[in-house]
Amino acid sequence: MADIIMITGGQRSGKSQLAEEMALSLSPKPVYIATARVWDDEFRRRVELHKLRRGPEWTTHEAPLDVASVSLGKDDTVLFDCVTLWATNWFFECGEDSAKALAAMKEQLDRLCAKCRHIIFVTNEIGLGGVAENAMQRLFTDLQGYINQHIAAMASEVYMSVSGIPLKLK
């Protein structure tokens, strides 16, 4: 099983940049698993900013759902960005059934983590702002919280990025 690092935090907290730096410190040729589905022009610009930061040493695989099928070597260092977008994809793929989505995600993660040496997960803390006003948002926030707990339990290190400052939690 891979050595797992988890980096969590809010939107634009510096999570991805921290993860990229960590991945490059572990490998000269890291692998990037991109889970986003681009749904509008503004989000497309966000994705492009991420791509511009990464140089030619990165190998990128787009995997909005089936991350376990990404071809990896046992010595690879993987940056998985991001769990929240991946959870969104699974949540809607499973008809907003968070229990079904969580089971599918755990199975995918177990298979993925068995394939490589290091994996860094980037995720969001979306439940810090209070209880959502509608049931769908609450179900998704719960799903996000449960998958974050699952990854954190497997991780040897967990960081929270706040305003660009990494805080080591585990």
* Residue 57 clears pLDDT 90, i.e. is over it: yes
Structure tokens at 45: 């610009």
CATH number of the domain residue 154 falls in: 3.40.50.300
Cα-Cα-Cα-Cα dihedral of 156, 120, 93, 132, to 10°? 70
Residue positions annotated with a catalytic role: 50
Cα gap 25→20, rounded to integer Å: 9
Amino acid at 93: E
Count of domains in the chain?
Answer: 1
Per-residue pLDDT at 128: 82
How confident is the prediction for the chain on average, in pLDDT? 93
Closest of 6, 71, 64 to residue 35, by C-alpha: 64
Question: For 126, phi and psi rounded to 5 degrees?
Answer: -95, -10
Burial class, 156, CB count within 10 angstroms (exposed 0-12 / middle 13-18 / buried 19+): exposed
Domain that holds residue 25: 3-168
What are the tens digits of pLDDT across the range 87-121? 999 999 999 999 999 999 999 999 999 999 999 99
